[in-house]
Amino acid sequence: MRKRWLFTFIGLLFLALYTMSSNTHLMMDLLEKRSKVSSAFGADRSRYGDLYYMCFLPQYKSSNRLLENIKPDSVFDKKREINLYAICNSYLLSFIQTPKVFAGVKKYWQERALNPQSPVLDTTQKNILLLQVTERSVMMFLYADRIIKNFKPHAPQGPSDTLKYINKYEIPPFPLKEQIFSPRLNEALEFNLFDYRFITPVKELKATINHKFFGRISPGVVISPDNKYLFLSSTVKKSAISSSFYPLSDAQINKLIASFNKLYTHYKEVVGFDEVYLSIIPNPVTIVAPEMDTYNNLLPRIQQNPDLKVPTIDVYEKFKQARQPIYQYADTHWNNRGLNLWLEEVNKKLINN
């Protein structure tokens, strides 16, 4: 009888673990909470950079990820009267915490391009739309119609219906099939069973053996020639469309230009934004180690294209000339220096607008 109770307990415990791990919303909350725990039971997932987390090479473990505070000089003496909307990715979502970093911006709204959103657009105010994308995901903008379908600003329904700043990414409910057979289950179980700080040294040991002995690292990551940086392998491998070295044809570039122009026309002339800007953030490998292969010149080919109607916020040259690191060593994102450089360029445009 006692054995039966023991088996019941074990069975239900693992059933609970399985069910909990299948719930993506719950897992995201748990991830956020456990990432903040600094004891041995905390999670190292976002502590030392997403690329470190992919490969666990101890030499890339650095907690000093963000170098300075964001204080762009240009923002302080400007009257705040702009509503800024950003269709963006984690380069902004994870780093911009306040509209105050933008010159002249009163209200700021940000969201991912393909999430269905319908913010308020009061055309009596000055509204600017910023299309921010990283070089590796620029191809996403080929689907202009999907973006137009998802991002549909609406006129205010009453005096209290004003633009609200969105800070947290709300995940829509998953279909039933995904709730029962979660495609993220193995990742979630790995997090619940093995993502504890006291296990990290074992993961680092495995990574070191694989690297030193077999010359292998996680397939998702590539080491820079000077061994300082980790790059996302899909930005380096020539066969990947997100790579800086993927041979892009002129026809593909022209399609992109047409798609950007379509978005520009739609949001400026149909929806009623006062201005629309495009900003493409270079892949770290494009700036740090372009010599790894032949750069496809995606950024110059888009930004200097005479057919492009959208005004761009060009940071490519500025990043290339930067003397200090602007990207994190073991993360796909920029550091605050990179963000500041970008903000300076954005603010120049906003001030001149």
Residues that bind another protein in the complex, under the rule CB under 8 A: 3-5, 7-8, 10-12, 14-15, 17-18, 21, 177, 181, 185-186, 189-190, 193, 202, 205-206, 209, 213-216, 219
At its nearest, how many Å lie between another protein and the CB of residue 7? 4
Which residue number, 20 or 66, has a Cβ lying nearer to another protein? 20
* Minimum distance from residue 4 beta carbon to another protein (Å): 6
CB 188 to another protein: min, Å: 9
* Structure-token pair, residue 115: 């999430």
Contacts with 209 (C-beta within 8 Å, 6 or more apart), sequence order: none
Shortest Cβ 212–another protein spacing (Å): 9
Secondary element (H or E) of residue 292: none
CB of 219 to another protein, least distance (A): 8
User: Residue 175 in contact with residue 182, Cβ under 8 Å?
Assistant: no
Q: Which of 61, 30, 41, 38 is nearest to 198 (CA)?
A: 41
8 Å CB contact between 138 and 280: yes
What CA–CA distance (Å, rounded) separates 207 from 209? 6
Nearer to another protein, 5 or 76 (CB): 5
Strand duo 221-223 + 230-232: pairing: antiparallel
In the sheet where 82-88 sits, what is the strand order? 105-112, 82-88, 126-134, 275-281
